[in-house]
Amino acid sequence: MTQIYMDHAATTPLRPEVLETMLPYFSEEFGNASSVYGWGRRARQALDRSRDTVAEILGAQAEEIVFTGSGSEAINLALKGAAKAQQKKGRHIVTTAIEHHAAYDSVFWLKKNGYEVTVLPVDSEGRINPEAVRSALRPDTILVSVMHANNEVGTIQPISAIGALVQEHGALFHTDAVQTAGILKLNVDELNVDLLSLAAHKFYGPKGVGALYVRKGVRLEPLVHGGFQERGRRAGTENIAGIVGLASALDLAAAERELESRRLARLRDRLFAGLQEIPFTRINGSRVHRLPNNVSVCFEFIEGESLLLNLDLRGIAASSGSACTSGSLEPSHVLLALGLSHEIAHGSLRLTLGRETTESDVDYVLGEIPEIVHRLREMSPLYQA
């Protein structure tokens, strides 16, 4: 049966070339990077090389890169670590209504622990206005966190403009670049960020490894204690194979980024054009400030989980922000923040494209979806044909 994976925002397959670079560190080069003998030294060299690679791509210095066990951990460390280290300066944090749960929940954990939080609304396309950030800043604001691009609706934020005014104010600025690493250019000085997090498995690297950029001079209270790894910012024996994989995956992605982004954007627009022919379909997010691989729509009168099950029956893997798929039975907070009603958010579908996606995949999907939507609408008490 046809199998088409269109959920690259959830995770991506590990590239075989990346796996090759990782393999020795699972077996013969198993050393602990803290050891003085040959095995340890070779592990240390691999670690240093990887750190250099990541730093270079981000326009940073090697000592500004901290490897973590996931993107979520990088985000938690950035927010909790910076907030705790700064608490004498103030306890006010600014963030947005569309952050990923890793950021959102970290900030709300801080709120429970005595910090004050301002959550900025977004416009109907999911964009943050830098001026709104400016007016939210207070003398006791220590930290601002805005995601680079949204994982559900693909909206890209004006990070550089926001960063400039946050830094001018003297607060720290974090961006969650988990969705953009490997897709958009990430230069920490152009973006005006002090903290930036990413996860390897979103750009064809392995799961279980992430990285955090920490601008020189920014102090972080560690989350994990127990050793001097990562300059005391993250204890634990380094996952050399994972870190090597992260670095080589990011390196490959950076080299191919421009061409691949253009290719993906063409496929994305082809998908949008086809989906828009289905009546009562709305596009979520911005058409202009949008990730090249993200397609997000809502089909009115139907529910996302039944849509996903039908797609799965035809070999298509996708995702939805419907309440019924969420586990909490609440629709996606992102779709609600864009101003969609619960009912409309129910019918959301996200297709995220990747390296293996071809034009014929897009056409296959466009051949199947209208029929599924029609069938579900025929079954829906809300739909009047």
Partner 1 sequence: MYSEKVMDHFRNPRNVGELSQADGIGEVGNARCGDIMKLWIKVENGVISDLRFKTFGCGAAIATSSMITEIAKGKTLDEAENITDNLIAEALDGLPPLKMHCSNLAADALKAAIADYRLKQSSAS
Q: Which residues bind ligand FES (CB under 6 A)?
A: 323-324
Nearer to ligand FES, 271 or 323 (CB): 323
Nearer to partner 1, 213 or 301 (CB): 301
How far is 6 from 3, CA to CA, in rounded Å? 10
Q: Residue 204 in 3-state DSSP?
A: coil
Least Cα distance to 84 among 52, 63, 106 occurs for 106
**Helix (H) and strand (E) counts in the chain:** 13, 12
For partner 1, the binding residues in 129-188 under the rule CB under 8 A are none
How far is 236 from 135, CA to CA, in rounded Å? 40
How is residue 62 annotated by DSSP?
G
Partner from partner 1, ligand FES, none binding residue 229, C-beta < 5-8 Å depending on class? none
28 touches partner 1 (CB under 8 A): no
Check if the beta carbon of residue 206 is closer than 8 Å to that of residue 18. Answer: yes
Partner from ligand FES, partner 1, none binding residue 123, C-beta < 5-8 Å depending on class? none
How far is 88 from 276, CA to CA, in rounded Å? 52
Nearer to partner 1, 273 or 382 (CB): 382
Catalytic residue list contains 298: no
283 touches partner 1 (CB under 8 A): no
State which of residues 346, 348, 352, 353 lies at the interface with partner 1 (CB under 8 A): 346
Partner from ligand FES, partner 1, none binding residue 378, C-beta < 5-8 Å depending on class? partner 1
306 touches partner 1 (CB under 8 A): yes
260 touches partner 1 (CB under 8 A): no
How far is 51 from 54, CA to CA, in rounded Å? 5
| Torsions phi, psi for 145 (to 5 deg) | -130, 120
202 touches partner 1 (CB under 8 A): no
> How many other CB atoms are found less than 10 A from the CB of residue 328?
7
123 touches partner 1 (CB under 8 A): no
56 touches partner 1 (CB under 8 A): no
Partner from ligand FES, partner 1, none binding residue 379, C-beta < 5-8 Å depending on class? partner 1
Q: How far is CA 96 from its chain centroid?
A: 15
Count of residues of this chain found to bind partner 1 when the rule CB under 8 A is applied: 23
Nearer to ligand FES, 114 or 381 (CB): 381
Q: How far is CA 229 from its chain centroid?
A: 25
Least Cα distance to 361 among 262, 263, 271, 237 occurs for 271
Which is catalytic among the residues 184, 324, 336, 366? 324
Partner from ligand FES, partner 1, none binding residue 381, C-beta < 5-8 Å depending on class? partner 1
Write down the least CB distance from residue 300 to partner 1, Å: 10
Q: Residue 73 in 3-state DSSP?
A: helix
For partner 1, the binding residues in 309-328 under the rule CB under 8 A are 309, 313, 322-325, 327
Q: Residue 184 in 3-state DSSP?
A: strand
How far is 293 from 362, CA to CA, in rounded Å? 12
343 touches partner 1 (CB under 8 A): yes
Check if the beta carbon of residue 198 is closer than 8 Å to that of residue 74. Answer: yes
Write down the least CB distance from residue 315 to partner 1, Å: 14
How far is 179 from 11, CA to CA, in rounded Å? 10
378 touches partner 1 (CB under 8 A): yes
Write down the least CB distance from residue 296 to partner 1, Å: 19
299 touches partner 1 (CB under 8 A): no
Least Cα distance to 50 among 241, 178, 258 occurs for 241
Q: Tell me which residues are annotated as active site.
A: 324
Where does this chain bind partner 1 (CB under 8 A)? 301-303, 305-306, 309, 313, 322-325, 327, 329-331, 342-343, 346, 378-382
